Amino acid sequence: MASMPRDDAARASQLVVIGVDTHKEFHVAVALDTLGRRLGELAVPTNAEGYATLERWALAFGQPQAWGVEGTGSYGAGLSRYLHRQGWHVIEVDRPNRQVRRKRGKDDAIDAEQAARAVLAGTATTLPKAADGAAEMIRLLKLTRDSAIKSRTQTICQIESVLITAPADLREELRRLPRKELIAKCGRFRVPASPANVIEATRYALRTLSRRYLALRAEADELTIQIKDLVTTYAPNLMTHVGVGPDNAAALLLAVGDNPKRMRSEAAFAALCGVSPVPASSGNTQRHRLNRGGDRQANCALHRIVIVRMQWHEPTKRYVERRLAEGKQRKEIIRCLKRFTARQLYPVLTNANAV
């Protein structure tokens, strides 16, 4: 489905806004002029040819002022990267409001139009991550490492579960061994190719699980080295701060992305990490509440950094003692320290060196 402009002479100076509803196999776009009038819609496949077709279609209406794209971190990532390389202004658009959906219904063209109207109204202003540099490399390696660690944990739980129901003699032989020795011993079991009884089947299962655990551990260790090298190269000054190790540094770099200048201030970074207080005032009641939004992985990284500093960093320990003497609770102190840490690390993150 596609529609094209009728007046070719009027399109040269016309500014348009394009909204895109993204999917796995195809994207649907709707073009609006600056007065909000609908100009046309188009569906294209999710490949380089489709992206180029979409760009030519948009240019037929005029000069695209902005592209509002849903799901720039998932189905829209490829289109977002293509538009960035072409020099277009891309804005990330959230899923349409449910109240609007109940009133207007839902289909791909309606969602694309709502994306364009969100950009036109100024309610969508977030610049998406570029996803074309070191931060994207770290993200890919980190998600693979996290998967290996999760599978490793599941494997050791399965080993312990098998031991609980193992035959008595085998259970007594293995139950008191430390984990490292248990894994090593089970991995050396000699078993027949086809187990003939419960004991042989149990030993076969334990050997298989132990070797799987060792393989996952080696995989996670290798990925950890790769991530640490990338972090050290991309942001060499980040890990010089107390409490910032490779894991915490990687989580913060992922939150910032490959185009850190998209954040206008350290307050924007704090909001991104969910450590900025949110106003919750009404009438004569003036208060703030805890921010439960933002990037929770970055929030956890800041929390871990603060906990380490509270134990080993003398200035932080003195600050905690002073605030406790003032009657503040430990949770409140941690929230203040997380906000301070975000302010402290913001210039380091936004001035990271390119690989």
Percentage of residues of the chain with pLDDT beyond 70: 92
Higher-scoring residue by pLDDT: 156, 73 = 156
Model pLDDT for residues 154-172, shown as the tens digit of each residue = 999 999 999 999 999 889 8
108: pLDDT confidence band, cut at 50, 70 and 90?
A: confident
Per-residue pLDDT band for 147 (boundaries 50, 70, 90) equals: very high
pLDDT at 252: 94
Please tell me the predicted confidence (pLDDT) of residue 122. 86
pTM confidence score:
0.79
DSSP readout, 165-186?
TS-HHHHHHHTTS-HHHHHHHH
Q: What is the pLDDT of residue 102?
A: 67
Give the whole-angstrom CA distance, residue 314 versus residue 335.
Answer: 18
How many secondary structure helices (H) and strands (E) does the chain include?
13, 7
E-state strands within the chain: 15-22, 26-33, 38-45, 63-70, 90-93, 278-279, 288-289
The DSSP code sequence of 287-325 is: -EE----S-HHHHHHHHHHHHHHHHH-HHHHHHHHHHHH
Over the stretch 195-242, which tens digit does the pLDDT of each residue have? 888 999 999 999 999 999 999 999 999 999 999 999 999 888 999 999
Return the pLDDT at 10: 56
Confidence band of 355 (pLDDT split at 50, 70, 90): very low
pLDDT bucket at 285, cuts 50 / 70 / 90: confident
- Beta bridge partners of residue 289, listed in sequence order: 278
SS3 state of residue 111: helix
> What integer pLDDT is reported at residue 143 of this predicted model?
94
Model confidence pLDDT, tens digit, residues 75-91? 999 999 999 999 999 99
Any idea which residue has 């063209």 for tokens? 109
Q: How far apart are CA 351 and CA 355, in angstroms?
A: 12
Dihedral sign of CA atoms 339, 345, 351, 355 in order? negative
Backbone angles phi, psi at 7, to 5 degrees: -105, 105
Q: Are the beta carbons of 90 and 83 closer than 8 angstroms?
A: yes
Please report the pLDDT score of residue 278 as a whole number. Answer: 80
Token pair recorded at residue 297: 């992985």
- CA atoms within 13 Å, Cβ hemisphere of 25: 0
Percentage of the chain modeled with pLDDT above 90: 61
Q: Per-residue confidence at 350, pLDDT binned at 50, 70, 90? A: confident
